[in-house]
Amino acid sequence: MLLKGKRALVMGVANQRSIAWGIASAFHREGAELAFTYQNDRLKENLDELLDAVGGRNAFPTFPCDVQNDEHVRAVFEGLRDRWGRLDAVAHCIAFANRDDLSRPFHEISRSGYALALDISAYSLIAVARGAASLMGDGGGSIFTLTYNAVERVVPGYNVMAVAKAALETEVRYLASELGPGQVRVNAISAGPIKTLAGSAVKGLTKLRDLTEQTAPMRRNVTQEDVGDVAVFLASDLSRAVTGNVIFVDSGFHLMGIAQES
Ligand SMILES: NC(=O)c1ccc[n+]([C@@H]2O[C@H](COP(=O)([O-])OP(=O)(O)OC[C@H]3O[C@@H](n4cnc5c(N)ncnc54)[C@H](O)[C@@H]3O)[C@@H](O)[C@H]2O)c1
């Protein structure tokens, strides 16, 4: 029960395969009180069905939140202030890019597609951190996001999302620096490739998974549960002095300069 007494907001459950659902399940197992946001009504149905399997949809506050809408974001944290008064952790598991801007050559990324991907996948962390930190009070809290290791290295097919993740990782460091005096920690988990709705928009995901299995130091892919357990660490007091980090949950794949098969 590492999260007993903690109140956590999970953003980004689209379905059972979502990394956010892996995180929510791990948080639930560890005794956290949970609230959720959903992007739209269609995804709310998925979320409600998932919540019914773990105690009933009415046991969890849920809020509509399209992160492109400032009013939605503001209403989430107002709602949590009314309902809980404070917040201990936020899991930001949100990203989007047009398929076209993932699949066309990098030098043909459109201006509008670039702005869209950066707005949803990177700016949203700033807006969320602003709302969350205002509810974290004297005790502070933990905010974390999800990134992918296509920032330092080129992963064909990741294109515009690589730029968004670079911005996101930079935000983690600036937010960590600024919110640190209030004991608010900000980190990112860099997950290996996982089959999800967003993951399947990346051309070559299956190849990336094969490569991980064949060449990562641990010779295996990672799961939503692997990410969920690291998220528990980040939301818990065990990580009380950890901020501004990108923690890799990728079987060590990021270490390798040259693939070594066996
Ligand atoms: N799947 C992978 O291989 C992988 C690897 C590393 C990092 N990540 C990151 O993990 C996070 C979660 O993705 P996932 O793989 O679980 O896929 P997913 O499709 O299950 O989750 C993506 C979520 O983003 C939400 N979203 C998109 N646009 C939004 C908007 N305008 N407002 C609010 N929410 C919006 C969707 O509703 C969805 O819930 C993303 O940041 C993704 O980049 C994924």
How big, in percent rounded to 5, are the helix, strand and coil portions of the chain?
Answer: 50, 15, 35
Domain boundaries, position 100: 7-250
243 Cβ closer than 6 Å to some ligand 1 atom: no
Identify the residue whose C-alpha is closest to ligand 1 atom 11.
93
148 is catalytic: yes
Q: What percent of the chain has pLDDT above 70?
A: 99
Q: Which of 102, 146, 187 to mutate to test the pocket of ligand 1 (most atoms within 8 A of CB)?
A: 146
pLDDT tens-digit map of 191-205: 999 999 999 999 899
E strands, 39-106, are 62-64, 89-92
**Distance between CA atoms of 162 and 154, rounded to whole angstroms?**
8
Sheet bearing 7-11, strands edge to edge = 62-64, 33-38, 7-11, 89-92, 141-147, 184-191, 246-249
Question: Which of 152-177 are b and which e, b meaning 16 or more Cβ less than 10 Å from the residue's Cβ?
Answer: eeebebbbbbbbbbbbbbebbbebbe
* Strands, E assignment, 177-240: 184-191
Residue with CA at minimum distance from ligand 1 atom 32: 66
Reply yes or no on whether the pLDDT at 39 is more than 80. Answer: yes
**Residue 89: pLDDT above 80?**
yes
Counting every residue, how long is the chain? 262
Encode pLDDT of 91-123 as tens digits. 999 999 999 999 999 999 999 999 999 999 999
Domain assignment present for 2 = no
| CA gap 117, 138 in Å, rounded | 34
CB atoms within 10 A of CB 71: 8
Residue 1 falls inside a structural domain: no
3-state secondary structure of 8: strand
Structure tokens at 226: 């692997």
Minimum CA distance residue for ligand 1 atom 26? 94
The answer to the question of residue 257 being in a domain is no
Looking at residue 171, which CATH number applies to its domain?
3.40.50.720
- Tell me, yes or no, whether 259 lies in a domain: no
Ligand 1 lined by 21 (C-beta under 6 Å): no
- Domains: count for the chain: 1
For residue 69, the model assigns a pLDDT of 98
pLDDT score recorded for residue 151: 95
* Binding site membership of 120 for ligand 1 (Cβ less than 6 Å): yes
Residue 260 lies in a domain: no
H or E stretch covering 129: helix 124-133
Q: Which long-range contacts (CB under 8 A, 24 or more apart) does 149-152 make?
A: 149/190, 149/248, 149/250, 149/253, 149/254
Asked whether residue 185 is domain-assigned, the answer is: yes
Q: Residue 203: what pLDDT?
A: 87
Return the structure tokens found at 174: 């600036």
Ligand 1 pocket residue status of 128, Cβ below 6 Å:
no
